Chain A
Amino acid sequence: MSKNLFEKVWDAHSVRELSSGQTQLFVGLHLIHEVTSPQAFQMLRERGLRVMHPERTYATVDHIIPTDMRDRPFLDDLAEEMMVAIETNAREFEVPLFGMHDQRQGIVHVIGPELGLTQPGMTIACGDSHTSTHGAFGAIAFGIGTSQVRDVLASQCLAMEQPQVRRVEVNGTLGEGVYAKDVTLHVIGALGVKGGVGYAYEYAGEVLDRMTMEERMTVCNMSIEGGARCGYVNPDETTFEYLEGREHTPKGADYSRAVDWWQSTASGRDAEYDDIVKIDGGSIPPTVTWGINPGQSCAVDSNLPRPEEANGDGASVAEALQYMGFEGGQPIAGTPIDVAFIGSCTNSRISDLREAAKIASGRKVASGVKALVVPGSHDIRDQAQAEGLDEVFREAGFEWREAGCSMCLAMNPDKLKGREMCASSSNRNFKGRQGSPTGRTLLMSPAMVAAAAVRGVVSDVRELLT
């Protein structure tokens, strides 16, 4: 029996066993942002500590920055204070910072791969639960809290317990209008929002094999929504091709040697897993969430569950329907929306924008709908503009923004108001998530957000693809 990738990478980064029985795990890449790091730097100051490996640490700003204007100081004093804090901390502790006007700035989980910082076989930590995104490259990548950010800054290590590994195989062929977002929503729906607690997910199978890196990132991104702290895909030619030539990717002979090592980190053919789940990709429909957690989803052409028919889950279904203002049994398609948001670390990459633009092209955003497109990074924004996508979106009536987290979590000026209903390409539909305590979120693929934007109601994207 050979090892799976998770075991190989874990073993390669194990420093020693701690008295608690946990592993002291070396962290190869530490990404930080403005929200979960200021207290960690303050803790270092209080203890008189330095950053052990500033050259393995990269900072950017994404959560709090406005995406419509970039003038400083920000109108929001608290946001300005946080910007000043990360600038001061980066300077004092000699950590590279990709600030708001740096070409390398963007959502932390978008720029890591884009810059070639994210590589197979690494351990990657960041004070953000969507760090699992980087697992798309065959890295072990997971979100941590602020005290653990402090631990990594000071020691480049974490005290961790080794999780089990579940292989999630998606085989077959995806249907028309079915995207990586639908795959991840389907997996979460099938295994449950807590199904992955205690597991790392290895995504595999024909569907994952055929996916681009951007699609794999979308799938790995939402692992945490299924309870799994990290999810990964074994590195292959698609991975190496994506990485070749990027700023931090090894060059020349180093690149060839790197590919050899990266290949060696992939799970062996006869590797063992603690669990294996198989899903038929052909059965995955365009999917929409209707509730208040990402596991509460259904096919876009189906009806909502009724509490009395939910297996032992009636109370959760009833609570979600009540919050959303829905009736059990009603169709999800045709639900009127107020806001359409295309962006976030889940779906703000160039391929997401291209797919959404195909739908928006030649159409108009429905009257009364506020629609915005927020690219994940400066680079993506430039690329989209070079392809004319910004014009497509603007002509259709979408707002075209600067890079940031925007309305995914509403720590910046982009927020829902009141009971607004938002078709969103982001990752969480929790109560109040998008900034209004009573706001409502319907998660779906970027193409289907564009479809909802132009129709004014939740729509089956397949009807607009022809």
Chain B
Amino acid sequence: MTTDNPASSIRSRISGRVVPVRGDDIDTDRIIPARYLRTVTFDGLGEHVFEDDRASSSHVFDDANYAGATVLVANENFGCGSSREHAPQALLRWGIQVFVAESFAEIFFGNCVSLGLPCMKAEAADVDRLMAAIEADPTLEVDCDIAAQQVHFGSDHIPAVVPASSRQQLLEGSWDALGQLMDEPSAIEAAASRLPYINGF
């Protein structure tokens, strides 16, 4: 098993320990409360991740067993609500490099792809099995294989889908879309000139 070179933008394989975040519909206000959006950078967001949830009850992000985890496993509709990129930025700065969940909210998913953070989708029963294995042994290392769309843990593994376009971007290291978007300015101008509200009605 080889993991990606951290200096490379290719995301084909990410290994590490897991933090299981149980519950559906975990919104981005919970991931990073709005008061921390009063900033002109993304620096320092990692220390405030899930801050209010952590203050209200015991939370996996405060559990020493999960310190240093790089894989976040969640249930349905993870990252719903506000479009704030501060949410994946905060999780990235805490140390998360890959997400495995039953499903993701769309804007959160897009933000993750823009940051080179793979989002892998797995069946509910498989997510549950993975979470249970981690809760039984938090030291368990998992291997997220983006190319093969599988997550291996111990002697077990689960299928985990990475939708085709994002998989391609992660595997070829083209998840920072701006380079490609600026490749052909003449094509952009041609498209604009076909639009009556730009070129005149």
| A positions within 8 Å CB-CB of B | 12-16, 18-22, 24, 26, 28, 35-36, 38-39, 42, 47, 52, 56, 63-64, 76, 78-79, 81-82, 85, 119, 121-122, 127-129, 142-148, 150-151, 154-159, 161, 193-194, 197-198, 224-225, 227, 229, 250, 254, 257-258, 260-261, 293, 315-316, 319, 409-411, 428, 430-433, 435, 437-438
> In the complex, what distance in Å separates the CA atom of A54 from the CA atom of B110?
24
Closest to B170 in A: A20
CB of B8 closer than 8 Å to a CB of A = no
Q: Which 8 A-B pairs have the closest CB atoms?
A: A145-B85, A145-B111, A147-B114, A437-B52, A257-B201, A38-B40, A78-B38, A143-B83
In the bound complex, how far is the Cα of B163 from the Cα of A137, in angstroms? 31
**A431 and B30 contact, CB distance less than 8 A:** yes
Point out the residue from B25, B184, B196 that lies within 8 Å of A316, measured CB to CB: B25
Chain A residues with Cβ below 8 Å from B115 are 147
Interface status of B7 (Cβ within 8 A of chain A): no
Interface stretch among B99-107, B128-136, B145-153?
B99-107
B155 at the interface (CB under 8 A from A): no
Question: Which residues of chain B are within 8 angstroms of A64 by Cβ–Cβ distance?
Answer: 38
CB-CB under 8 A from B169, the residues of chain A are: 20, 22
Of A85, A293, A409, which is within 8 A of B25 by CB? A293
Given that A16-B184, A20-B168, A148-B114 are known contacts, is A197 also in contact with B106, CB under 8 Å in the complex? yes
Tell me, rounded to whole Å, the shortest Cβ–Cβ distance linking B117 to chain A. 11
A16 to B77, CA, bound (A): 30
Q: With A144-B110, A145-B111, A410-B34 in contact, do A39 and B41 touch (Cβ < 8 Å)?
A: yes
How far does the alpha carbon of A150 sit from the alpha carbon of B181 in the complex, in Å?
Answer: 11
> Complex formed: what's the CA distance from A12 to B199 in Å?
13
**How far does the alpha carbon of A39 sit from the alpha carbon of B53 in the complex, in Å?**
26
Distance (Å) between the CB of B96 and the closest chain A CB? 16
User: Which of A145, A161, A193, A438 is close to B83, meaning CB atoms less than 8 Å apart?
Assistant: A145
- Does B157 count as interface, using CB distance less than 8 angstroms? no
B35 engages A411 (CB within 8 Å): yes
CB distance from A432 to the nearest CB of B (A): 5
Taking a contact as CB atoms under 8 Å apart, the answer to whether A122 and B83 are in contact is no
Specify which of A21, A156, A430 is in contact with B168 (CB 8 Å cutoff).
A21
Contact partner, B103, options A151, A194, A315, Cβ 8 Å: A194
Which residues from B are CB-within-8-Å of A127? 83, 85
Q: Contact residues of B with A, CB < 8 Å?
A: 23-25, 27, 29-30, 33-35, 37-42, 51-53, 55-56, 76-77, 80-86, 88, 103-107, 110-111, 114-115, 163-166, 168-169, 172, 174, 176-178, 180-182, 184, 187-188, 190-192, 194-198, 200-201
Q: Which chain B residue shows the least CB distance to A230?
A: B106
Residues of A within 8 A of B35 (CB): 410-411, 435
Chain B residues with CB below 8 A from A121, complex form = 197
Within 8 Å CB of A257, what residues of B?
196, 201
Set of chain B residues within 8 Å of A36, measured between Cβ atoms: 83-85
B114, A145: Cβ atoms under 8 Å? yes
- CA gap between A431 and B198 in the complex, in Å: 43
A193 nearest in chain B by CB position: B25
B195 and A430 within 8 A (CB)? no
- Which chain A positions have C-beta within 8 A of B105? 194, 197, 227
**What separation, in Å, do the CA atoms of A145 and B85 have in the docked complex?**
5
Cβ-neighbour of A227 out of B77, B85, B114, B188 (below 8 A): B77
Asked if residues B34 and A409 are in contact (CB atoms below 8 Å), the reply is yes
Provide the bound-state CA to CA distance between A27 and B66, in Å: 42
- A450: shortest Cβ distance to chain B, in Å? 26
Q: Which residue of A lies closest to B41 (CB)?
A: A39
- Shortest Cβ gap from B105 to chain A (Å): 7
A127, A258, A428, A430: which has the most chain B beta carbons within 10 Å? A430
Q: CA separation between A14 and B201, bound complex, in Å?
A: 19
Q: Is A411 a contact of B56 with CB atoms below 8 Å? A: no
Is the pair B77, A26 in contact by a Cβ cutoff of 8 Å? no
The answer to whether A24 touches B181 (Cβ under 8 A) is yes
20 examples of A-B residue contacts, CB within 8 angstroms: A12-B194, A16-B184, A18-B180, A20-B165, A28-B195, A35-B84, A38-B40, A42-B40, A127-B85, A128-B83, A142-B107, A148-B110, A151-B114, A159-B177, A159-B181, A193-B80, A194-B80, A197-B105, A224-B107, A430-B81
CB neighbours of A150 from chain B (8 A):
178
Q: Are B188 and A154 in contact (CB under 8 A)?
A: no
* Min C-beta distance of B133 to chain A, whole Å: 21
B197:A437 contact, CB within 8 angstroms: no
> CB distance A194 to B196 under 8 Å?
no
Residue of A nearest to B80 (CB): A193
User: Given contacts A411-B35, A432-B29, are A151 and B177 in contact (CB under 8 A)?
Assistant: yes
Q: Are B34 and A154 in contact (CB under 8 A)?
A: no
CB distance from B123 to the nearest CB of A (A): 15
Q: CB distance A22 to B42 under 8 Å?
A: no
Alpha-carbon gap, A22 to B111, bound state (A)? 15
Residues of B within 8 A of A14 (CB): 191
Query: B83, A15: Cβ atoms under 8 Å?
Result: no
User: Whose C-beta in chain A lies nearest to the C-beta of B56?
Assistant: A437
| Cross-chain contact A197 with B77 (CB below 8 angstroms) | yes
> In the complex, what distance in Å separates the CA atom of A85 from the CA atom of B56?
34
CB atoms of B25 and A194 under 8 A apart: yes
Q: Within the complex, what minimum Cβ distance (angstroms) separates B24 from chain A?
A: 6
For B56, list chain A residues within 8 Å (CB): 437-438
Are the CB atoms of A229 and B27 closer together than 8 Å? Answer: no
With a cutoff of 8 Å between Cβ atoms, the chain A residues found around residue B76 in the complex are 194
| B111:A147 contact, CB within 8 angstroms | yes
Q: Which residues of A contact B38 (CB under 8 A)?
A: 64, 76, 78-79, 82, 411
Contact A13 B195 (CB under 8 A): yes
- Apart from A157-B188, A159-B180, A193-B80, what are 5 other A-B pairs with CB-CB below 8 Å? A15-B190, A82-B39, A127-B85, A154-B178, A293-B27
Query: Are the CB atoms of B197 and A21 closer together than 8 Å?
Result: no
A464 to chain B, nearest CB (A): 32
List of A residues within 8 angstroms of B200 by Cβ: 254
Closest to A228 in B: B106
A428 and B85 form a contact (CB under 8 A) = no
**A127–B56 Cα gap in the complex (Å)?**
30
